[in-house]
Structure 1
Amino acid sequence: MSKAVGNSVVRHRVSRRLRHLMRDRLDRFPPGSALVVRALPASAEATSDQLGGDLDSAFRKLGLPVHGGAA
């Protein structure tokens, strides 16, 4: 994760939040898929709901189903 997101404490917090949000969304991908989630600087100030919404929006653009899960 880029240092533009914040200091190491902030970067690790964002990383943990994204990992938790992705855990509920992994079933949308075929087995063996590889995915990279890039955190932009605004991620440091975003709420979990905002991050989840951003992930769901990106998945919609990819044509993946958006359902349930924590958003």
Structure 2
Amino acid sequence: MSEIHPDLIEKYQLLLEKDPKSQVFAPLSEAYRKMGLLEEAFRISSRGVQFHPRFAGGHIALANVLMEKKQFEN
């Protein structure tokens, strides 16, 4: 598992706080997922794809969380 830099997460969090509709939700969700914070990753990516339904990176981030949570259909 790759190391997640706290400074980068903090930067993403600040950007998302400043602009809740920012596409930075996708890398922040991925960082949380890699840290094992699946509920937070799910919350952020779910909300993000509502704001950006055509943003493929957001859907990928959400799909990664759902797969890790094993919440997918066969």
Larger radius of gyration: 1
Bigger relative CO (Cα 8 Å, ≥ 6 apart): 1
For the superposition of Structure 1 and Structure 2, which TM-score range results when normalised by the shorter chain?
A: 0.3 to 0.5
Normalising by structure 1, what TM-score? 0.35
Q: Which structure shows the higher helix fraction?
A: 2
